[in-house]
Every structure is written in structure tokens, then in C-alpha cells.
């Protein structure tokens, strides 16, 4: 198994190292999903590359869940069948596009503030952090935020697909970023998106 069992490495970012095993758990270090353990029957049967049950939405929601929970836990995150079933049943899902748009603004604002520089490009983990069905969906939302004057970026072609580089917030984007951080004055994304 050379691809990530969750995202199938379809964005073109190969595993950082070969998978390892401890009893019935397989460990993967995926640039998109992060480092996690997964029951081997879940990885092989339910998430196998030929599995029809594991839709793009299910894989994206699971990838997002892994990223969110990795950030909260100090130990290696293990994915069990129960979690997969909750994702398949829609109990664990993806944020709405409006929420994803707000997360994108927050993510870019945080990174630019941290480094003082524009983002050269979108990191591999971007769609999993934000919670979009694919990298292309995340890029499409960025395109909409750009056309609404909240984000500045340039188009690029990397990994043989459409991508964006030199990403920053505009003045309007920074205003929204700052008001979003103030709990008393939440932004009205509906009017912006």
C-alpha cells in the first residue's frame, strides 16, 4: 500500500515515509492528512482503493476529522471503524462553504501574521485543515474570495493542475479577519459570499 488510505494521495503528495505496522494497526504519514494510525481492516476493506462505499465526501470528511483531532491530541491519533461509520452516516461532516471560506481567511491571516510574508502557495494539508471536498474546491473558494476583494493571489499551474500562489489578504480581508477574531462583532459572511 503506497498511497494514503484516506485521501488516496490524489492531490499528488506521496506519503512521507513507508507505512508501518503494529499488530492490527497501520501507521501512515501523509502530507495531507498528517500522521495517524488506522485499523488494518478499515484501511483495507472500507477504504480500499476499489471500495465503492468510500466516496470523495467521506474521504474528505475523514481527512478533515483526522487533522482537527491530531491538533488536539498529544498521542498518535488512531482511526477506528466507529469513526468511519459516523462519517459515512453524516454525523461527522464537512463545514458549509461559507464556514470553509471563513476558515480560509483565518488560515491565511494567521500564516501571514506568523511569518510576515505572503503564502508562497497552498500547503498540502490545506484542504484537510479547511474541510473542503478537494484541493480544487478549496482553490475555487479562494477564487471567489479573490473576486470579492478579500484575498489577493496569482494563478499558477503546479502538480499539473490549476493552483494559486502569492496568497495574502487584502485590506478588506484583514478587516474581516480582525472582526472575526472579536467575539462581539462576528462578520456577516452571508452578505459577503
Q: How far is the CB of 121 from Zn ion (least distance, A)?
A: 18
Residues forming contacts to Zn ion in the complex (CB under 5 A) are: 4, 6-7, 30, 32-33
Q: Which is nearer to Zn ion, 32 or 164 (CB)?
A: 32
Q: Which is nearer to Zn ion, 31 or 173 (CB)?
A: 31
Q: What phi and psi values does residue 20 have, to the nearest 5 degrees?
A: -120, 170
Q: How far is the CB of 91 from Zn ion (least distance, A)?
A: 21
CA 81 to mean position of chain CA atoms: 21
Strands, E assignment, the chain: 20-22, 25-30, 34-39, 77-79, 119-121, 151-158, 161-169
DSSP tag of 43: I
Q: How far is the CB of 162 from Zn ion (least distance, A)?
A: 21
Q: Which is nearer to Zn ion, 47 or 145 (CB)?
A: 47
Q: Nearest Cα to 51, choosing from 115, 106, 3? A: 3
Q: How far is the CB of 89 from Zn ion (least distance, A)?
A: 21
Amino acid at each position: 500500500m503506497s498511497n494514503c488510505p484516506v485521501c488516496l494521495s490524489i492531490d499528488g503528495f506521496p506519503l512521507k515515509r513507508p507505512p508501518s505496522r503494529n499488530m492490527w494497526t497501520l501507521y501512515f504519514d501523509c502530507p495531507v492528512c498528517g500522521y495517524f494510525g488506522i485499523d488494518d481492516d478499515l484501511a483495507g476493506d472500507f477504504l480500499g482503493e476499489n471500495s465503492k462505499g468510500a466516496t470523495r465526501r467521506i474521504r474528505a470528511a475523514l481527512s478533515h476529522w483526522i487533522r482537527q483531532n491530531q491538533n488536539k491530541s498529544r498521542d498518535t491519533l488512531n482511526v477506528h471503524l466507529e469513526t468511519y461509520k459516523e462519517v459515512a452516516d453524516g454525523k461527522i461532516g464537512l463545514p458549509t462553504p461559507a464556514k470553509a471560506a471563513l476558515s480560509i481567511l483565518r488560515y491565511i491571516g494567521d500564516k501571514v501574521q506568523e511569518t510576515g510574508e505572503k503564502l508562497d502557495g497552498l500547503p498540502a494539508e490545506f484542504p484537510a485543515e479547511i474541510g473542503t471536498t478537494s484541493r480544487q474546491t478549496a482553490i475555487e473558494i479562494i477564487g471567489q474570495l479573490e473576486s470579492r476583494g478579500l484575498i489577493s493571489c496569482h494563478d499558477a499551474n503546479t502538480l499539473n493542475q490549476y493552483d494559486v500562489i502569492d496568497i495574502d489578504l487584502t485590506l478588506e480581508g484583514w478587516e474581516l479577519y480582525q472582526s472575526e477574531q472579536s467575539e462581539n462583532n462576528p462578520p456577516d459572511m452571508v452578505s459577503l459570499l
